[in-house]
A and B are shown apart, each in its own frame.
Chain A
Amino acid sequence: MASGKPNGNVVDGNGSGGPVTFLEAIKQAMFEEMERDPAVVVIGEDVGVYGGAFKTSEGLLERFGWERVIDTPISESAIIGAACGMSYLGLRPICEMQFIDFIACCFNQLTNFVAKGHYLWNAPAPIVVRGPSGGGVHGGPFHSANPEMYFVHTPGLKVIYPSTPYDAKGLLKAAVRDNNPVLFFEHKFLYRRIKEELPAEDYTVPIGKAAVRREGRHLTILSYAAMMHTSLEAAEALAKEGIEAEVIDLRTLLPLDEETILQSVKKTNKVLVVHEDTKTGGIAGEIAAILCEKAFGDLDGPLMRVTSLDTPVPYAPTLEDYFLPNAQKVFAAAKELARY
């Protein structure tokens, strides 16, 4: 998966013709935004000539030229620093991290400058930082990270982690148009595994809005990205046992759509959070706190969570399988919660 070949799709700037992959949806979003707004540029390692490690920017160089599709040296810090400066001068850069794990290298640029610029100097940095994230593809500890929570903890940023091609495209376009710095996580497990018919016309998906993927009444499963699909799979199995789980796709982690969460909890009174991020400090803990603050009287059971283990992502496939949540684990936890 991680060494995928170019899919050969020709970017034509509109979404016509057949279902598209998650990866293709991202490419379309960048293409369309660059067409729409000459201020949008793409910057990153191998995004130009090579077309991106996962071919998400394939064809962009040919269409928009080297001034707007910029290959950089291997320095994530430089990418963000350059993008931040560009944004101050009116551009709207989309930065690619070849693997999102490497975002750690530009942690300082993102958290101390990009995130605080608006607050400190009235200098908003409308940049998007996107990259392939997540495990399940045997990428090992340096190519499988889910580092979203470092940034959810950083005021001044927005954090998006979509689960479908439609959302990926709509949210990426919304991110490009947003005047805040937005981190955009693309779960690489989903890149070529799911396809979806996309509208031909221009659309965006609002940042900060969760989506109810499946309605239910016995408990709510909150999830996002690849785990959203795992949760749906578990919900399917639960339904066979008479347990109707409501599955909510958070889509945006910062700002979190508390309203949708609280509405669901009012109905089901029980919450299971499923995320691929490791347990300690994951979004589940934050949600637990929100529920205690704002929905204590609606709770009929403890918040439960199914997450990865608190370890680096293992390289060995068997260990990675053990490390990651799966539908069986979600099913078991949901049953326990339903029964509680």
Chain B
Amino acid sequence: MAVDIVMPQMGESIFEGTITKWLKKPGDKVERDEPLFEISTDKVDAEIPSPSAGVLKEIKVGEGKTVPIQTVVGVIDAAGDGAAVAKAAAPAPAPRAAEPARSIAPAAKPQIVPPAQAPRPAAPAPAPAAASGPGPASARPAGERIHSSPLVRRMAKEHGVDLAAVPGTGVGGRISKQDIEAYLAGGAQPSAEVAQPAASAFASAAPATQRAAAPPPPPSATSGGQTHVAFESAVPREKMYFGNYEVQPMSIMRQRIAEHMIASKHVSPHVYSVDEVDMTKVASLRAKAKDEFEKRYETKLTFMPFFVKAAVAGLRAFPTMNASLDGTNVILHKEINIGIAVALEWGLIVPVIKNADEKNLLGIQRNLNDLAERARTKKLKPEEVQEGTFSITNPGVFGGLFGLPVISQPNVGILGLGAIEKRPVVINDSIAIRSMCYVTLSYDHRVVDGAVAHQFLHKVKETLENWSEPLL
């Protein structure tokens, strides 16, 4: 019995995934729910459990390939003990990370099944990650108050429907008349599709118009009941839906950014310092060398490598800037790995230039080009966005005079670069036109004090203003 392995949907807004690694080769025996391959979607990487026990017969989509969700990526020759099992498990929405997926593997590893999940029926486990409620059909966590209406309650009573199983698409996740009608029409099978008719009933009446009825607010984004602090709202949800609107689910990457920013602001008391760097010397050196540089190395020379090198000089002089904080222990990193914020059309990612202190301008520029290019083509490997010890962000490229960035954890500082522009400055009591640039430092005051921060910034400034390293 052949069982298809499909690319799972890793989140509402994810429509494709990249297979980063097959953990089994064709011919390998595989247990049900055993990690079979690894995928990457935007910033998320996960191990995908096998939908069935058996032998991996065929790999249809190789490593590095990106395919739409539900694409068959391989085939398992099932051991014959559970065709139905496989069928049910295949399209199961995979959890965000690999760990929860493993923990709902009742057959393969009964010894680690938590007590709460023990009564789960062994065979056709649809394994919806969100179904944390007691009933397999539960549309919301147990104990959550069900909002409906007198009509809906009456209809539920008349048809013997448990409202806990009906997905609500009304304001604040309320179960509306359309919801229960859809539920009844759908043979009591709650699914995302069934929950939609409220909106589509409106839309179908005017298919040609661009301004289709705004969809009803979706059910609370956190169907698992737990709201991450990053997704808390300061006002009741109902207050956000008014007038014309469109609901765009946050991409997984956006969600990770939100979580990270909130966590960083929550953990690190941010202090900000600003300094001003005279970039005239660097600018003129670069202007003189850039054509030859490009000819020789086939890459443009940008300003960023100069800033990276200057930051390295600062970090060497003030090692507490190149640190992480673990409880009451300050971890002073011996490597200098500098994360560079790369703006993407769909978000932001911070790939890391490893051992930046061991590289010259050319090495940094090449490394930077490579990372940025792969960030834009979603080819970054997980380890390439990890182990940064300091970071640099460049709001200046978008014309910002300067920015006050949020620290990328677990760093204790981030350098923000403003736009380089010619400004009148006073030198020796006369006014000169110089290429100036504001640099800012956001730092974690638990570890870094103002004195160090300003000395660091000054070191960065001094390095740039007195540039000595040859460009070619």
Contacts and interface: CB of A to CB of B under 8 A. Distances in A.
A269 B211 contact: no
11 contacts: A242-B204, A242-B212, A242-B213, A269-B151, A297-B150, A298-B154, A300-B149, A332-B242, A335-B214, A336-B241, A340-B170
Given A239-B205, A242-B212, A299 B243 contact: no
B211 A241 contact: yes
B206 A300 contact: no
The 7 closest A-B CB pairs, nearest first, are A242-B202, A242-B205, A300-B177, A300-B151, A297-B154, A242-B206, A300-B149
Contacts of B177: 269, 300
Given A269-B177, A339-B214, A340-B174, A243 B202 contact: yes
Contact of A299 (B151, B202, B217, B242): B151
Contacts of A336: 241-242
B467 to A, nearest CB: 61
A240 B202 contact: no
Contacts of A269: 149, 151, 177
Given A340-B174, A340-B176, A243 B213 contact: yes
A187 interface: no
A340 B171 CA distance: 5
Interface string A279-321: 0000000000000000011111100000000000000000000
B216 A339 contact: yes
Contacts of A240: 206, 209, 211
B471 to A, nearest CB: 61
B156 to A, nearest CB: 11
Given A218-B202, A239-B205, A300-B150, 5 more contacts: A240-B211, A242-B205, A297-B151, A300-B151, A336-B241
A244 interface: yes
A36 B127 CA distance: 81
Contacts of A43: none
Contacts of B174: 340
Interface in B203-243: 203-206, 209, 211-214, 216-217, 241-243
Interface string B171-197: 100101100000000000000000000
A338 interface: yes
Contacts of B216: 339
Contacts of A299: 149-151
Contact of A241 (B149, B152, B206, B243): B206
Contacts of A241: 202, 206, 209, 211-213
Most chain A CB within a 10 A radius of its CB, from B171, B202, B203, B204 = B202
A340 B238 CA distance: 9
A163 B216 CA distance: 34
A340 B170 CA distance: 5
Interface residues of B, number: 27
B201 interface: yes
A300 to B, nearest CB: 4
A301 B175 CA distance: 10
A232 B254 CA distance: 43
Interface string A24-45: 0000000000000000000000
Interface of A: 218, 239-244, 269, 296-301, 332, 335-336, 338-340
Contact of B201 (A242, A297, A300, A332): A242
Interface of B: 149-154, 170-171, 174, 176-177, 201-206, 209, 211-214, 216-217, 241-243
Nearest to A337: B171
A218 B205 CA distance: 12
A338 B202 contact: yes
Contacts of A339: 170-171, 213-214, 216-217, 241
Contacts of A332: 242-243
Contacts of B149: 269, 299-301
A301 B178 CA distance: 12
Contacts of B243: 332
A290 to B, nearest CB: 14
Contacts of B176: 300-301, 340
Given A336-B242, A339-B214, A340-B170, A242 B203 contact: yes
A244 B204 CA distance: 12
A339 B209 CA distance: 18
Nearest to B209: A240
A301 B171 CA distance: 10
Contacts of B153: 297
Nearest to A297: B154
Contacts of A242: 201-206, 212-213
A131 B299 CA distance: 86
A299 to B, nearest CB: 5
A269 B153 CA distance: 13
A2 B456 CA distance: 78
A242 B198 CA distance: 11
Contacts of B212: 241-242
B241 A244 contact: no
B170 A244 contact: no
A279 B123 CA distance: 60
B327 to A, nearest CB: 49
Contact of B205 (A244, A298, A335, A340): A244
A336 B160 CA distance: 29
Most chain B CB within a 10 A radius of its CB, from A218, A242, A336 = A242
B457 to A, nearest CB: 52
Most chain A CB within a 10 A radius of its CB, from B171, B203, B211, B213 = B213
A339 B153 CA distance: 18
Contacts of B211: 240-241
A12 B170 CA distance: 57
A61 B217 CA distance: 63
Most chain B CB within a 10 A radius of its CB, from A244, A297, A332 = A297
Most chain B CB within a 10 A radius of its CB, from A269, A300, A338 = A300
A301 B151 CA distance: 9
B208 to A, nearest CB: 10
A295 to B, nearest CB: 9
Most chain A CB within a 10 A radius of its CB, from B153, B154, B203 = B154
A339 B206 CA distance: 16
Contacts of B209: 240-241
Nearest to B170: A340
Given A242-B212, A339-B216, A340-B174, A296 B150 contact: yes
Contacts of A298: 150-151, 154
A113 to B, nearest CB: 43
Nearest to B200: A242
B375 to A, nearest CB: 39
Contacts of B171: 339-340
A340 B149 CA distance: 10
Contacts of A335: 213-214
A296 B151 CA distance: 7
Contacts of B241: 336, 339
Most chain B CB within a 10 A radius of its CB, from A240, A296, A340 = A340
